[in-house]
């Protein structure tokens, strides 16, 4: 910890078995890349920053529109038309000025991922399309980077921690296969605003626990918010997967 003030800020973490001062120091020294600053990303970013992540790179090329405001809670009416990442940086800096906040305003493709991911410790994908997630999967496999997939729609949420250092586990492509020709989105299918907050906050929990050195369960975690039910599935690795099939 840097100072008495810093120790006080994170004092609630210090008594937790498996976290303590050493785990909090690991969080402080970590760099997380967060892809997507929608409802999931806004919720996740707040807990990553408030919990003391040392560096957060936020990636999003979109601007704030009125339909975002119900669930993307870093933004206000006066922010309409502004880049989401710029507005988020202002809010998050007030929340915790100790976190180094960086912005990426271009679409994250393989080239940008290969350039930026080597310097980070964890990737949190809160984007809204399979193509981006498949690209994250490819690049994280090639670099051995742990990452988390988070998604939500209607009254449903999904979380999946992926660990390339554990080759016995399924990768993202093993679980989901090819990107579909069509993909439902929040404007088309709807999203109950608190569901984005629940899943985004849970994504921050997974990321922070992993960074602190806690044991975090792999697998696919499914939220049915209508019946308030969480299920965990254990997808099987596909030995013929074109992304991870050559891993030993």
Which residues on adjacent β-strands are paired with residue 229? 224
Nearest residue to 120 (alpha-carbon basis) of 90, 140, 150, 91: 140
For residue 16, give the DSSP letter: S
For residue 34, give the H/E element and its range: strand 31-35
pLDDT of 129 reads: 87
Q: Domains along the chain?
A: 4-233 (3.40.50.720)
For residue 51, give the DSSP letter: T
- Record the tokens describing residue 56, joined without a space: 């957060």
pLDDT of 245 reads: 83
What stretches in the chain show pLDDT beneath 70? 1-6, 178-188, 247-248
120 is catalytic: no
pLDDT of 1 reads: 43
The answer to whether 34 and 126 are in contact (CB under 8 A) is yes
pLDDT of 187 reads: 58
pLDDT of 218 reads: 83
- Record the tokens describing residue 209, joined without a space: 């626990």
pLDDT of 178 reads: 65
The answer to whether 47 and 77 are in contact (CB under 8 A) is no
pLDDT of 179 reads: 54
**The model scores a pTM over 0.75:** yes
pLDDT of 92 reads: 98
The answer to whether 58 and 37 are in contact (CB under 8 A) is yes
CB-CB neighbours of 184 under 10 Å: 12
The answer to whether 65 and 80 are in contact (CB under 8 A) is yes
Nearest residue to 124 (alpha-carbon basis) of 69, 58, 184: 58
Which residue out of 42, 152, 174, 186 is catalytically annotated?
186
């Amino acid at each position: 910890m840097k100072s008495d003030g810093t120790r006080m800020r994170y004092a609630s973490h210090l008594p937790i078995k498996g976290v303590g001062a050493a785990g909090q120091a690991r969080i402080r020294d970590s760099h997380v890349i967060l892809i997507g600053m929608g409802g999931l990303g806004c919720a996740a970013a707040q807990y990553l920053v408030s919990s003391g992540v040392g560096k957060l790179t936020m990636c999003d090329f979109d601007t704030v529109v009125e339909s975002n405001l119900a669930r993307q809670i870093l933004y206000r009416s006066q922010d309409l038309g502004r880049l989401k990442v710029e507005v988020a940086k202002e809010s998050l800096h007030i929340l915790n000025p100790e976190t180094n906040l960086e912005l990426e305003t271009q679409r994250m493709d393989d080239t940008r991922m290969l350039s930026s991911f080597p310097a980070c410790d964890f990737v949190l994908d809160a984007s809204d399309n399979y193509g981006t997630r498949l690209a994250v999967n490819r690049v994280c496999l090639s670099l051995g980077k742990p990452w988390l997939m988070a998604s939500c729609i209607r009254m449903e949420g999904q979380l999946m921690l992926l660990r390339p250092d554990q080759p016995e586990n399924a990768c993202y492509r093993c679980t989901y296969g090819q990107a579909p020709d069509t993909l439902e989105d929040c404007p088309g299918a709807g999203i109950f605003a608190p569901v984005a907050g629940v899943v985004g906050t849970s994504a921050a929990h997974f990321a922070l626990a992993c960074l602190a050195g806690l044991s975090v369960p792999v697998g696919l975690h499914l939220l049915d918010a209508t019946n308030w039910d969480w299920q965990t599935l254990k997808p099987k690795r596909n030995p013929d997967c074109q992304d991870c099939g050559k891993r030993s």
